[in-house]
Structure 1
Amino acid sequence: MASFGKVIRKNSLNAFSRVVLRRDFTRGRHSLGLVYGEYGDPGTVLKLEEIPVAEDLKDDEIEVDMLCAPVNPSDMNQIQGTYPFKSELPAVGGNEGVGLVRRCGLRVTGMKEGDWVIPILPGVGTWRSTLISNCNKFLKVSSSTGLDFAATLQVNPPTAYRMLKDFVSLQPGDTLIQNGANSGVGQAVIQLAAAWDISTINVVRTRPDSSDFDVINYLKELGATEVVTEEFLHSHKMKELIKGYSRPALGLNCVGGDSSTGVAKLLKEKGTLITYGGMSRKPVTIATSLFIFKQLTCIGYWNGLWLTNNITNNRALIEDMFHDLCTLGEKGLLRAPRSTKHELINYKNAINESMKPFVSSKQLLMIKN
Structure 2
Amino acid sequence: MALLLRSLPAKALKAPFNLKSTLIRRGVGFQSLTTRAFSSAAVSPPSKAIVYDSHGQPDAVTKLVEVAPVEVKDNDVCVKMLAAPINPSDINRIQGVYPVRPELPAVGGYEGVGEVLSVGSAVTSFAPGDLVIPSPPSFGTWQTYIVKNQSVWHKVDKGVPLEYAATITVNPLTAFLMLEHCISLNSGDAIVQNGATSMVGQCVIQLAKSRGIHNINIIRDRPGVDEVKERLKDLGADEVFTEKELEVKNVKSLLGGIPEPALGFNCVGGNAASLVLKFLRQGGTMVTYGGMSLKPVTVSTSSFIFKDLSLRGFWLQKWLSTEKAEESRGMIDKLLGLVQDGKLKYKMELTPFNDFNTALDKALGKLGSQPKQVIKF
TM-score by length of 1: 0.88
1:62 paired residue among 72, 77, 88: 77
Q: Is the 8 A contact 2:58 2:95 kept in 1?
A: yes
Q: Which residue of 1 aligns with 2:242?
A: 229
Determine if the alignment matches structure 1 residue 303 to structure 2 residue 333: no
Closer/same/farther in 2, CA of residues 137 and 331 from structure 1, 3 Å limit: same
Whole-Å separation in 2 of the counterparts to 1:33 and 1:218: 36
Whole-Å separation in 2 of the counterparts to 1:175 and 1:360: 29
Deviations 1:297-322 (Å, cap 9, x if unpaired)?
11110111111213xx651x112211
Determine if the alignment matches structure 1 residue 178 to structure 2 residue 187: no
Whole-Å separation in 2 of the counterparts to 1:220 and 1:298: 28
Give the number of equivalent residue pairs: 346
Q: Which residue of 2 aligns with 1:347?
A: 356
Whole-Å separation in 2 of the counterparts to 1:73 and 1:28: 30
User: Which amino acid in the other structure matches residue 234 of structure 2?
Assistant: E
Give the percent of matched residue pairs that are identical in Structure 1 and Structure 2. 42
Deviations 1:103-140 (Å, cap 9, x if unpaired)?
12233343222111111234421110001112222211
Give 1:243 shift.
4.0
1:164 paired residue among 171, 179, 184: 179
| Higher mean C-alpha displacement, 134-143 vs 73-82 | 134-143
Whole-Å separation in 1 of the counterparts to 2:306 and 2:69: 60
Q: Which residue of 2 aligns with 1:219?
A: 232
Closer/same/farther in 2, CA of residues 120 and 233 from structure 1, 3 Å limit: farther
2:56 paired residue among 31, 37, 40: 40
Closer/same/farther in 2, CA of residues 227 and 360 from structure 1, 3 Å limit: farther
2:212 partner SS: coil
Closer/same/farther in 2, CA of residues 319 and 28 from structure 1, 3 Å limit: closer
Give 1:194 shift.
1.3
Whole-Å separation in 1 of the counterparts to 2:319 and 2:211: 23
Whole-Å separation in 1 of the counterparts to 2:329 and 2:60: 37
| Higher mean C-alpha displacement, 297-306 vs 237-246 | 237-246
User: Which amino acid in the other structure matches residue 352 of structure 2?
Assistant: E
Whole-Å separation in 2 of the counterparts to 1:135 and 1:288: 51
User: Which amino acid in the other structure matches residue 153 of structure 1?
Assistant: I
| Higher mean C-alpha displacement, 290-299 vs 66-75 | 290-299
Q: Which residue of 2 aligns with 1:285?
A: 298
2:322 partner SS: helix
Whole-Å separation in 2 of the counterparts to 1:249 and 1:52: 53
Q: Is the 8 A contact 2:14 2:66 kept in 1?
A: no
Whole-Å separation in 2 of the counterparts to 1:204 and 1:228: 6
Unaligned runs of 5+ residues in structure 1 are 1-6, 17-24
Whole-Å separation in 1 of the counterparts to 2:64 and 2:283: 51
1:124 paired residue among 139, 155, 165: 139
Determine if the alignment matches structure 1 residue 53 to structure 2 residue 63: no
Whole-Å separation in 1 of the counterparts to 2:328 and 2:11: 43
Q: Is the 8 A contact 2:42 2:73 kept in 1?
A: no
Determine if the alignment matches structure 1 residue 96 to structure 2 residue 111: yes
Whole-Å separation in 2 of the counterparts to 1:120 and 1:269: 38
Whole-Å separation in 2 of the counterparts to 1:169 and 1:28: 47
Whole-Å separation in 2 of the counterparts to 1:292 and 1:112: 59
Give 1:27 shift.
7.6
Q: Is the 8 A contact 2:137 2:169 kept in 1?
A: no
Whole-Å separation in 2 of the counterparts to 1:193 and 1:27: 46
Structure 1 vs Structure 2 CA RMSD: 2.3
Closer/same/farther in 2, CA of residues 28 and 119 from structure 1, 3 Å limit: closer
TM-score by length of 2: 0.86
